[in-house]
């Protein structure tokens, strides 16, 4: 409806009549697809401002909290560190001879910067076959799942954002090895 309202003055103009139907369809598609992208929050360092600006993110974070028992601030702080809340975040490129782009340094992608194999484990274990790494709701649920699993596997408290992030970023490691836990403070 909004698209029709925007295009209605164009439809009446003679200039619009000279544009082919295909061009109009392409322009409409580009407009619609660009409106689907959610911009990062204007103040990504303030969780209250994030939730005021993107109210649906609050409900998704609360759903992850209810499902996995993870405090909201832990996956949100990890997401801030990983992608700054950019839905299509990618890791840096590798370069051949220092200047020829040669792929990415890892398969990480999206809000959570989840690697492909870990994301596939999440999908298998949760049955969330339609999950996408560039969908905030799926990414926050994935991070809640990861924190839950890290607590089960390595004994790191779900409230320990620092050590949870170390396990997230560096991997949980060999289960026969003492879990990563650094005292700070």
Which pTM value belongs to this model?
A: 0.70
pLDDT at 90: 62
pLDDT (tens digit per residue) in 27-55: 444 444 444 567 887 888 899 999 999 99
pLDDT (tens digit per residue) in 96-142: 676 676 655 566 779 898 888 999 999 999 999 999 989 999 999 99
Closest by Cα among 140, 137, 136 to 73: 140
The chain-wide mean pLDDT, for the chain, equals 77
| Domain spans of the chain, in order of start | 2-34, 47-170
Is residue 91 within 8 A of residue 140, CB to CB? The reply is: no
pLDDT at 94: 63
* Contact residues for 64 (Cβ-Cβ < 8 A; gap 6+): 70, 72, 75, 140, 141, 143, 144
């Amino acid at each position: 409806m909004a698209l029709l309202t925007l295009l209605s003055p164009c439809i009446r103009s003679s200039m619009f009549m000279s544009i082919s139907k295909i061009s109009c369809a392409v322009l409409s598609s580009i407009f619609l697809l660009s409106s689907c992208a959610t911009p990062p929050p204007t103040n990504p360092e303030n969780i209250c401002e994030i939730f005021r600006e993107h109210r649906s993110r609050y409900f998704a974070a609360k759903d992850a909290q209810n499902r996995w028992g993870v405090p909201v601030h832990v996956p949100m702080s990890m997401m801030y560190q990983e992608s700054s809340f950019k839905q299509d975040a990618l890791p840096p490129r590798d370069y051949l001879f220092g200047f020829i782009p040669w792929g990415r340094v890892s398969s990480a992608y999206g809000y959570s910067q989840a690697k492909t194999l870990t994301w596939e484990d999440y999908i298998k274990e949760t049955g969330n076959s339609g999950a996408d790494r560039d969908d905030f709701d799926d990414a926050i649920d994935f991070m809640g799942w990861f924190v839950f699993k890290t607590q089960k596997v390595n004994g790191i408290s779900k409230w320990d954002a620092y050590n949870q992030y170390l396990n997230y970023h560096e991997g949980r490691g060999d289960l026969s090895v003492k879990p990563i836990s650094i005292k700070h403070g």
